[in-house]
Amino acid sequence: MSRLHAVIFDVDGTLAETERDGHRVAFNHAFERLGLPDRWEEPLYGELLWVTGGTERLRFYFERYRPLLAAERDRLVAELHRVKNEAFRQLIEGSGIAPRPGILRLFDELHRAGITTAVATTGSRAWVEPLLEKLLGRDRFSRITLVITGEDVARKKPDPEAYRVTLSKLAIRPEQALAMEDSQNGLEAAKGAALSCVITPSSYCRNHDFSQADFVVEELGDPGLRSRVLYNPHGIEVGEVIDTVTLHRLHHRSTAPARRP
């Protein structure tokens, strides 16, 4: 039985509620900056989130909702994405984007336990690393062993490439790690890489299908904020918060030979 060597975190929605009040706002700023009438309201943005990657999301939007000539569309998508990333970096620096409950506590516990932390996202490195440093603080950010972003892979989630690249660079096997995700796309990516996966659904993802997850919890929890378990197929014992003890129990159960596919 392999011990738990690493916990691999998604970013958007998993570490913080960045989509509704972060990326969506930045996309709308880019539309306004370029003099376009388009605005992504919350319901529409929730639909667009099924398309991972900012460039891909913009391209899908124009193909589905406002068709343009291919050359004009590609030029516009590239410029919008550039302006959007600039706007999002400014939001990171000046806004109150905060980590979800339990994130800072768990990062500290993993460090004390000697468990590697890594990040596997298909967002752009231009904003991923500033966001990580803002959310976690410089010390915790410096302890992350590896950050894989969209620039490191050819295919975005739900394709498992980001997780496979992470495992390869960490030189560990899937049964030596856990993935932390918030969405069905993320879950499918983790499972495609044969990883056990913990889900903390973000605000846009509460109605996603998490039946393949190994554990689903509303929040990781903090002192005074008890975690609420939504799905526990391995029947692990859970305390008031999701801590390293919980993750070890889950890892042990989810990688036991009888429970492997």
How distant is the alpha carbon of residue 192 from its chain centre?
15
**HEC states along 150-217?**
HHHCCCCCCCCHHHHHHHHHHCCCHHHEEEEECCHHHHHHHHHCCCEEEECCCCCCCCCCCCCCCEEE
> Is residue 139 annotated as part of the catalytic site, yes or no?
no
Q: Report yes or no: 98 and 135 within 8 Å, Cβ to Cβ.
A: yes
Q: How many residues does the chain have?
A: 261
Catalytic residue, candidates 10, 182, 214, 243: 10
> Is residue 222 annotated as part of the catalytic site, yes or no?
no
Catalytic residue, candidates 12, 159, 182, 243: 12
Q: Report yes or no: 181 and 212 within 8 Å, Cβ to Cβ.
A: no
Ramachandran category for residue 221: left, alpha or beta (phi over 0 → left; psi -120 to 50 → alpha): left
Q: State the catalytic residues.
A: 10, 12
